[in-house]
């Protein structure tokens, strides 16, 4: 007679938790790694949760951080479930063997969403395929928007990033009880999650906690404090309160979210604008993360895999017909992109010479993608040859106009292409063979640091997924990136629109309004 399988139970520093088995994988959901960040803890660094007696059920996703919904234009492509409740600093664990001593490799996922949206409850991020293939996978919720990244004179900066550090410390201390090896932790994240990983790798408090890291469509960076400060001040003006954490802590959460959405609606990856972001704070982020990681001082022994999608910009511009609008605006949109990228007219001329068939939106989109992603990731790989691996995702969505857009690779990385939420972006009929290849690559890298192609060197090897059979191209974006000067320089006068006035200052804000590019997609 076969013995019945009992529900898995694991110990944590704060009490025992009980999960369940799904397809042979032990799953624990909604485990608190920090106390609810509300009441007197609002806008403060995370604190340990209250310990509990007995065994706590960990069967359902925990509450998600306060966040506004996606607009209708973007909700048709992106899913973002909301789970109500205060205890939003929680995480989930999928493990093939919840026995202490199994010493399996660990992967910790940080979701994207422009630091204003997203959660670990998105079905695309289900960790069962990783556990099936011998990985203990953890996904994390953290504070978002003004709650997590507001910049105030009376509170420490970057509380959302501090949440992520607290979760990483929890994993390092606790994951052995779930079968994981705390000495083989790979951080991986996409977009804002990848940007967060860059900051964590550079943070003095996180040194020694991570063995490897994967940055998907997001570079190490710190935002401009003035941009974040402007967001907070504009919100304060609308709310008629001081721009302080103490005053914001008294505001109802729903009102704060509505105000945040109203103030941030004009931000965009194409033309910038005020937005929430990680800032240099002299403590957790003592200097720009890219600088810290490229001078050899921070995370020197951490192996890196990083990359982008071929058409990142299409998720920013296709919803709501923005792609066509940029093409119609022509020189005005191109001037805005030049100002955004701090370049003169020689750069877009070079792009058009390399790609004479490209329209304005393609030129603008690829310029901005190179500015935001490919240039800093190239710089990071150049600083760490031999231990860095670079990829490009090039499979085009089966949905019209999306191409190989931002976030499309996620269903392949997690091998969740059958989920309806993955099909919202990929369409029907996404190739399982590509998921097998990409998911297997992520597993191999987390297991032994070798994804299957040569590490970065002077030839700039880039593994291309989805454009025919997987292959390694040498320097596929080198011609475009060579157009950029090594250091910023004063831009040439921007081409003037029909009225003869270059779009600077107030005029630039008018361009943003004409494009109507929502802040929700500054970073997915």
Catalytic positions, written as ranges: 191, 312, 406
Phi, then psi, of 326 in degrees rounded to 5: -65, -40
Give 67's DSSP letter. -
CA 455, CA 439: separation in Å to the nearest integer?
A: 19
Euclidean distance between CA atoms 16 and 102, whole angstroms:
18
CB atoms within 10 A of CB 377: 24
Would the CA dihedral through 80, 84, 90, 95 be positive or negative? negative
Nearest C-alpha neighbor of 326 from the set 494, 70, 503, 517: 517
Helix (H) or strand (E) holding 29: strand 25-32
Q: For residues 117 and 110, is the Cβ–Cβ distance under 8 A?
A: no
For the sheet containing 136-140, what is the strand order? 20-22, 25-32, 90-95, 136-140, 104-110, 180-190, 212-216, 303-309, 388-393, 461-465, 471-474
Can you tell me the distance from the alpha carbon of 467 to that of 399, in angstroms, rounded to the nearest whole number?
17
Pairwise CA distance, residues 12 & 245, whole Å: 32
Contact 160, 195 (CB under 8 A): no
Distance CA 331, CA 502 (A): 10
Angle of helix 360-369 relative to helix 331-341, nearest 10 degrees? 10
The CA-based angle 181-128-19, given to 5 degrees, is 75
CB atoms within 10 A of CB 510: 12
How far is Cα 95 from Cα 181, in angstroms, rounded to an integer? 12
């Amino acid at each position: 007679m076969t013995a019945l399988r009992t529900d898995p139970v694991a110990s944590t520093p704060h009490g025992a938790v009980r999960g369940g088995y799904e397809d042979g994988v032990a799953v624990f959901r909604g485990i608190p790694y920090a106390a609810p960040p509300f009441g007197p803890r609002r806008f403060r660094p995370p604190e340990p949760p209250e310990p509990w007696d007995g065994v706590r059920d960990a069967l359902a996703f925990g509450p998600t951080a306060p966040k506004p919904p996606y607009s209708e234009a973007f909700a048709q492509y992106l899913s973002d479930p909301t789970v109500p409740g205060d205890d939003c600093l929680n995480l989930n664990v999928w493990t093939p063997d919840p026995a202490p001593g199994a010493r399996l490799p660990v992967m910790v996922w940080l979701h994207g969403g422009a630091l204003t949206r997203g959660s670990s409850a998105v079905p695309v991020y289900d960790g069962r395929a990783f556990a099936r293939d011998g990985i203990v996978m953890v996904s994390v919720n953290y504070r978002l928007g003004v709650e997590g990244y507001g910049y105030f004179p009376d509170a420490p900066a970057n509380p959302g990033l501090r949440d992520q550090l607290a979760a990483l410390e929890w994993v390092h201390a606790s994951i052995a009880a779930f079968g994981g090896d705390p000495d083989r932790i790979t951080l991986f994240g996409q977009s804002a999650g990848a940007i967060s990983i860059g900051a964590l790798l550079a943070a003095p408090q996180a040194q020694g906690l991570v063995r490897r890291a994967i940055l998907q469509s997001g570079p190490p960076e710190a935002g401009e404090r003035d941009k974040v400060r402007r967001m907070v001040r504009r919100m304060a003006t609308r709310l008629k309160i001081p721009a302080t954490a103490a005053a914001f802590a008294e505001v109802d959460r729903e009102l704060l979210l509505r105000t945040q959405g109203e103030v941030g609606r004009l931000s965009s990856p194409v033309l910038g604008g005020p937005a929430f972001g990680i800032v240099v704070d002299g403590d957790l982020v003592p200097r720009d993360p890219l600088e810290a990681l490229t001078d050899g001082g921070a995370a020197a022994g951490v192996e890196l895999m990083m990359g982008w999608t071929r058409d990142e910009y299409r998720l920013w511009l296709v919803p709501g017909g923005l792609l066509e609008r940029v093409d119609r605006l022509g020189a005005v949109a191109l001037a805005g992109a030049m100002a955004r990228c701090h370049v003169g007219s020689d750069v877009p001329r070079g792009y058009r010479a390399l790609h004479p068939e490209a329209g304005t939106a393609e030129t603008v989109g690829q310029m901005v993608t190179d500015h935001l992603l490919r240039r800093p990731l190239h710089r990071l790989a150049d600083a760490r040859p031999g231990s860095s691996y670079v990829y490009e995702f090039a499979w085009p969505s089966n949905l019209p106009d999306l191409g190989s857009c931002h976030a499309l690779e996620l269903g392949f990385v997690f091998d969740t292409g059958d989920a309806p939420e993955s099909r919202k972006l990929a369409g029907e009929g996404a190739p399982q063979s590509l998921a097998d290849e990409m998911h297997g690559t992520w597993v191999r890298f987390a297991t032994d640091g070798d994804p299957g192609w040569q590490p970065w060197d002077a030839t700039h090897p880039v593994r291309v997924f989805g454009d025919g059979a997987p292959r390694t191209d040498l320097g596929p974006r080198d011609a475009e990136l060579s157009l950029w000067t090594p250091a910023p320089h004063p831009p040439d006068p921007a081409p003037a629109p029909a009225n003869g006035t270059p779009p600077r200052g107030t005029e630039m804000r008018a361009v943003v309004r004409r494009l109507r590019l929502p802040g929700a997609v500054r970073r997915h």
